[in-house]
Structure 1
Amino acid sequence: MNQACENSRIVGCSFSVHPMSDQFVTYIMDSLKEVDTSKVWLHTDDVTTTVRGRMEHVFDVTKAILLHIAKTGVHVAFQGTFSIGCPGDTSGDVYMDESSERLNETKVTGLRLLIAAKFSLYPMGGGDYMDTIYAQIEAMKSKGVEVSPAHYSTRLDGDTHDIFTGLEDVFRETEESGSSHTVMTVTVSANSPSHKETE
């Protein structure tokens, strides 16, 4: 197996969405129908959905899928792993030629929804990774979301758009800081009946 880092900067996210309803398949399929995925490589199997392409389009698609399910009012959980860099990801590189225009932003910009999220950042290939992580946690505080510590992660509370913008900024800035392989895990809860009860 070739484990060398490649030059491709394609971003990928492998994620699962879990509507808390007997009609979970309908919620997921209806959301996928509403979201324009033409600028990303997409594959769904019995465990996860994976999207790959330019960074802005991966975040655009994942946020839109979550919002289209959550706008129904159903309690939904989202769990995703974003990755860029080593080991090189080259299949689907044709999507890197797409323009930067986000196809779903205008369709979801009016959907304002408060969510709770946790994220963990893993910059690889550099020596001062904790400094990078702490710097990005501090940067997140300027994004208009509430930031608080949690075990093995950082908690975020706020509007979906603000949180996803912050996550994308953190991911991009970490990659641009010299991390040859950056991984970020994200867990989101929307419309939870127990939101912030445990605080």
Structure 2
Amino acid sequence: MSQSICGKSRIVGFRFSLYPMSDQFVDVIKGALNETDTSKVWLKTDDISTCIRGKAVHVFDVAKCVYLHAAKTGLHVVLNGTFSIGCPGDSEGDSYMMVDDVRSNEADLFELKIEAPTQFALYPMNNSGYMDLIADVVEIAKVKGTFSGGIHYASRLDGNAHDVFATLEDSFMATQEKVSHVTMTVNIAANSPSRKKA
């Protein structure tokens, strides 16, 4: 399949909002961000959301770490956001693309096991064969054992956060090798009281 040319930048961005279902939401959000090593990404937080930009390896590392630090509080939290690469309107600024590929947060959180039920949707932009690309991503999730079915406007993943984020990263990166402009929306919950106990 030939690659559709869109944006040339290989900067990955992730704009997200973290929603702790608690009146202590400010402490949970700030705590999760402060406990995460963000030294290898550009980061900007405003009154609505946080944006991180940089190499894919570090953007996904930081995203997972923020989620895990919020989730380990035991509170019901939701991480909602959009990953993007290759947007034609993107700029080369505000990114840390010259850093190494060592994940800053992986070692500290490797032993932390938290379930991460997720709904995600992949959008290969400007590509008429997008359904085939989405089917490829479903296969990636099935191989990883995290795919739990299609739902309206999204696909469902279940498993511990490390496996789920690995599925998201592999899906996103495999697609961007075929289509230069890709976005992916994610809605990831933790500790929801509505989940049935096994």
SS in 1 for 2:117: strand
SS in 2 for 1:97: coil
The verdict on how the C-alpha distance between 1:182 and 1:6 changes in structure 2, with shifts beyond 3 A counting, is: closer
SS in 2 for 1:165: helix
Aligned match of 1:97: 98
AA aligned opposite 1:107: D
- Distance in structure 2 (CA, Å) of the matches to 1:186 and 1:109: 21
TM-score by length of 1: 0.92
Asked if the contact 2:172/2:184 (under 8 Å) is kept, the reply is yes
Counterparts of 1:1-199 in structure 2, within 5 Å, are 5-92=6-93, 94-177=95-178, 179-195=179-195
Unaligned runs of 5+ in 1: none
- Distance in structure 2 (CA, Å) of the matches to 1:118 and 1:157: 9
In the TM superposition, what whole-angstrom CA distance separates every residue of 1:33-72 from its partner, at most 9, and x where no partner exists?
1100010010001111000000010000010001001111
Unaligned runs of 5+ in 2: none
SS in 1 for 2:84: strand
TM-score by length of 2: 0.93
SS in 2 for 1:52: strand
Kindly state the Cα deviation for residue 8 of structure 1 after the two structures are TM-superposed: 1.3
- Distance in structure 2 (CA, Å) of the matches to 1:6 and 1:176: 13
Identity, in percent, stands at: 53
- Distance in structure 2 (CA, Å) of the matches to 1:98 and 1:60: 14
Corresponding residue pairs, total: 193
- Distance in structure 1 (CA, Å) of the matches to 2:49 and 2:186: 14
- Distance in structure 2 (CA, Å) of the matches to 1:94 and 1:155: 31
User: As a proportion of its length, which structure holds more strand?
Assistant: 1
- Distance in structure 2 (CA, Å) of the matches to 1:162 and 1:122: 21
- Distance in structure 2 (CA, Å) of the matches to 1:55 and 1:192: 29
